[in-house]
Structure 1
Amino acid sequence: MTEHRRILLDGAVVEVVRREELLVAGDGRSVKADEAVHLPPCEPSKIIAVHLNHRSRVEEFQARLPAAPTYFHKPTSALNAHGGAVVRPEGCKWLNYEGEVAIVIGRTCRNISPADAAAHIRGYTVANDYGLHDFRDTDAGSMLRVKGSDTLCPLGPGLVTDWDFRGKALITRVNGEVAQHGSTDEMEWDMHYLVADIARTITLFPGDVLLSGTPAHSRPVRPGDVVEVEVEGLGVLRNHIVSGPTAIRTDVGAQPTESEEVLSTALGGDWEFRGIRPPRR
């Protein structure tokens, strides 16, 4: 396996290769991995995410998987990197982490079989598919603001080639405490299936990203929290939560809400029916 990263090196965007604790550029310059300013490890034209895929997540919501996966879109303006700040806008409270594996396309593909998908994948990276559930009541159909607001798609720290996705552990930690613990083996549809499914009608270009789903126990985080997603063989993606510098405007558009659906989704169950009111954050 080889791990590629994109960093800022002496003011320029440079692709480097990780060699133990050093990141080495093609011209021989190097920097310590923990001192580098990271960028997203790829430059996608689109980011596509699957709704439900991990069985533990389905069981948590007492849901039923559809016959085939369903998807939503995250705009590329949501991209973020290892070490970056994730912004929870002022006036919003229900920002949830979702640790995931991201598939990165390496060759243009359209109308391929699952058996051919591996040849079109450059590699894999770690993702955190943050959701701003305050807008779920108005954007549940599209997930546009819920999942597509600025900074809500950190990827990294690197892109790993020749990684076998089978049987790999996925752990999310909040302030050092384990919050999610899953495995790629609990995915209903594997990485190759997802690529082939999307490519039936949507051409995938080099750098495009597919997010493969999250296990159970996605929960809200707040400014000051540090969230780490670790995937076996792919490394650790670390981000911190900050408060937005400005409040959500009230003179235009739908406003953040705190309905039963918002709370149930953010907190992982029908809290209202259990007589438990979550604390205000």
Structure 2
Amino acid sequence: MPEYRRILLDGAAVKAVRDGEELVAGDGRRVKAEEAHHLPPVVPTKVIAVHLNHRSRVEEFRTAPAAAPTYFHKPTSALNAHRGAVVRPEGCKWLNYEGEVAIVIGRTCRNVSPDEAGGYIAGYTVANDYGLHDFRDTDAGSMLRVKGSDTLCPLGPGLVTDWDFRGKYLRTYVNGRVVQDGSTDEMAWDMHYLVADIARTITLHPGDVLLSGTPAGSRPVRPGDVVEVEVAGLGRLSNHIVAGPTPIRTDVGAQPTESEEVLSTALGGDWEYRGIRPPRRG
């Protein structure tokens, strides 16, 4: 399956194709994949994400399956790349990973059926849909700061074409330990359905990204942690968590909170039933 990456090569953003352990730019220059400075593999006009699409996630939150998918938006300023730093702002502590598959649109898409949607998909990449749940009480409706704060949308390492999304495992690791272990087969709505649903009222442009949902097991991470998301056939996206250098301003806006809603979401929905204590600050 062809895999394309965007990298910074001698100061310029270039598209490269993977050839074994090397990346080859259009002019023939080669760089080892492990040494390359990666950029997000696509440049979207928008990033749209779906709520609760994996059965295990629905069960974890002790809720009934939805009749139809609902969505939220992540601004493109949240984009991040393979091996990039994910920033947990000073004054916040409920930063959760969410390993996912990202759908990348290949040509302008509007008002298509699920059967037609595959023809509008360029390929797929790995995503980590981080959530800063400290702002959940304020932004629960929009998820703007929860899911849209800077660095919270890593994509990569590359864009893989001709990938069949059926029957693929999805795993997330924190410091080498498996913390999420799911499959695309547990999705309530598959990739083609999601594209067709959004495209009923929103035009999708080449490069646009749809995040297809995460399995159970999303939990908070801390500065110093290394988080990796691996999807069969798409590769392994790696990021590390760092502390923000300045605190959240207190002279404007709502402040980070630690309500039952915040804890319930950050710790898996049924935290109080399982006797889980919130992790210490730091």
TM-score by length of 2: 0.98
Q: 1:269 to 1:198 in 2, by over 3 A?
A: same
Where 1:220 maps in the other structure, the secondary structure is coil
Residue 209 of structure 1 pairs with residue 209 of structure 2: yes
What residue number does 2:101 align with? 101
Residue 155 of structure 1 pairs with residue 151 of structure 2: no
For residues 138-189 of structure 1, the C-alpha deviation after alignment (integer angstroms, 9 at most, x for no partner) is 1000000000000000000000000000000000000000000000000000
Give unpaired runs (5+ residues) of structure 1.
Answer: none
Where 1:221 maps in the other structure, the secondary structure is coil
Contact kept? 2:5, 2:158, Cα under 8 Å: yes
- Matched residues in 2 for 1:176 and 1:277: separation? 23
CA RMSD of aligned residues (A): 0.8
**In the TM superposition, what are the counterparts of 1:174-185 in structure 2 within 5 Å?**
174-185=174-185
What residue number does 1:27 align with? 27
What residue number does 2:69 align with? 69
- The residue type paired with residue 110 of structure 1 is R
- The residue type paired with residue 195 of structure 2 is V
What residue number does 1:38 align with? 38
Shift of 1:66: 1.5
Percent identity, please: 85
For residues 93-150 of structure 1, the C-alpha deviation after alignment (integer angstroms, 9 at most, x for no partner) is 0000000000000000100000111110000000000000000001000000000000
Moved over 3 A (4+): 272-276
- Matched residues in 1 for 2:148 and 2:234: separation? 24
What residue number does 2:253 align with? 253
- Matched residues in 2 for 1:46 and 1:211: separation? 11
Shift of 1:273: 5.0
- Matched residues in 2 for 1:114 and 1:220: separation? 35
Contact kept? 1:260, 1:272, Cα under 8 Å: no
What residue number does 2:56 align with? 56
- Matched residues in 2 for 1:249 and 1:36: separation? 36
Shift of 1:278: 1.6
What residue number does 1:172 align with? 172
How many equivalent residue pairs?
281
Where 2:150 maps in the other structure, the secondary structure is coil
Where 2:38 maps in the other structure, the secondary structure is strand
TM-score by length of 1: 0.99
Q: 1:226 to 1:275 in 2, by over 3 A?
A: closer
- The residue type paired with residue 150 of structure 1 is D
Shift of 1:280: 1.6
Shift of 1:277: 2.6
- The residue type paired with residue 68 of structure 2 is A
What residue number does 1:225 align with? 225
Where 1:64 maps in the other structure, the secondary structure is coil
What residue number does 1:241 align with? 241
